[in-house]
Amino acid sequence: MDKLSITGGRRLEGEVTVSGAKNAALPILCASLLSSDTIALSNVPALNDIGTTLRLLGQMGVRAERGNDGTVSLSAAQVSSLEAPYELVKTMRASILVLGPLVARFGEARVSLPGGCAIGQRPVDQHIKGLAALGADIRIEHGFVIAKAKRLKGASIRTDMVTVTGTENLMMAAVLAEGQTVLENAAREPEISDLAELLIKMGARIQGHGTDRIVIDGVDTLHGASHRVVADRIEAGTFLCAVGATGGEIMLRHAAPDTMGALLDKLQEAGLQIECGTDWIRCAMRQRPKAVGIRTREYPGFPTDMQAQLMALNCIADGTAVMVENIFENRFMHVQELGRMGARIDIDGHTAVVTGIDSLSGATVMATDLRASASLVIAGLAAKGDTTVERIYHLDRGYERMEQKLCAIGADIRRVRAQEAA
């Protein structure tokens, strides 16, 4: 397995181009199943999860052409399989997002249950409940969700919990349903709004996206469209945390600061000087960070996907921070690895109390999930000495060329290929 080798203590200076958002691109790719016309996408990040989704769609008969410039062209004119097999779904839970589009357009789907997840259980019962409300006949058989419907019919659906992928799946199902669908308690994430904007370009009739009540009037068919994937607010936030930990000044280009309010507020509280334009963020850190406490919440609250990165910053901050994780039950697995670098962190259930120290010490650490990987990279950049981050295949799922981008702004970081390590 590849590793990252980091020598800490370098200030970060320069410009970073923010990639397209993985969490927007994945449902958008699946939305190609809703039309027989071509969907032309740009700003699609080059990530392992994107490759997995394209393999899944290709196995179903979707023709995909992927350029080197972040473009992807998809045609689902000749879908030959309505099944998402376990071999692909087990590597990426977002594969469940083909369920709604398949049932909506073809009246049938057979999608493997995703199973567990390293950061906690993320059940798909709300997806199933919502599709059943739209008239689908659903059963669980041999580890698969099997759904059938001659044509889905609009309904009023209130999910028991706020679910991002659930909202996306039900929204995609409802755009081809007969009549009106109202999604109550809908997730409000910017990635959902980005999916809705593509669907509207395809001819869908959607109102209220970005709020907790989305109204969809079903149409008979959708057509082709072109769309640029929204900027990745989590990647942008990760680079801001890195500068907060190391000191320096960077400019983020092609960012979406209007989607990052809660995070930017906390980073300013930590001492970062931040200036924003429509699609750029300039930040500078010229002092030791101040400890900042957070409680993760659904959007527009503080994102769970930034908890680990901010924790790395708090490890070397002045003071003590109380960090409460309200979204996933197992999302403190990076704490043990940060402890190997000298961090002082006490865990009590869903609460982490982080007492800042003057500096971390480089060590060999192991990534346990995507955002934990990013926190360990930030810690390594700020630490004294050398750090090796192992199992970075997690990192490659959600960050495009991270080590190259960091090198370009002054970090001493390189990828050690598996063959080289051997």
Active site residues: 117
134 phi/psi in degrees, rounded to 5: -80, 0
The CA distance from 325 to 408, in Å, is 33
* Phi, psi at 26, each rounded to 5°: -60, -55
Burial label, 417 (beta-carbon count in 10 A; 0-12, 13-18, 19+): exposed
Q: Is 279 left (phi over 0), alpha (psi -120 to 50) or beta?
A: alpha
**In contact, 229 and 259? CB cutoff 8 Å:** no
Chain-centre distance for alpha carbon 317: 26
Pull the structure tokens for residue 229. Answer: 């994937």
Cα dihedral: 322, 323, 325, 330 (round 10): -100
Contact 89, 82 (CB under 8 A): no
Give backbone dihedrals phi and psi of 279, rounded to 5 degrees, phi first.
Answer: -135, 30
State the alpha helices, DSSP H only, in 61-158.
Answer: 86-89, 99-106, 125-133
Integer-rounded Cα radius of gyration of the chain: 21
From CA 109, how far away is CA 145, in angstroms rounded? 8
On whether the CB atoms of residues 168 and 141 are closer than 8 A, the answer is no
Instruction: Give the Cα separation of 55 and 12 in Å (integer).
Output: 37
Among 153, 55, 65, smallest CA distance to 98 is for: 55
Q: ∠ CA 239-44-200 to the nearest 5 degrees?
A: 115
Where in 368-417 does DSSP place strands (E)?
Answer: 386-390, 412-416
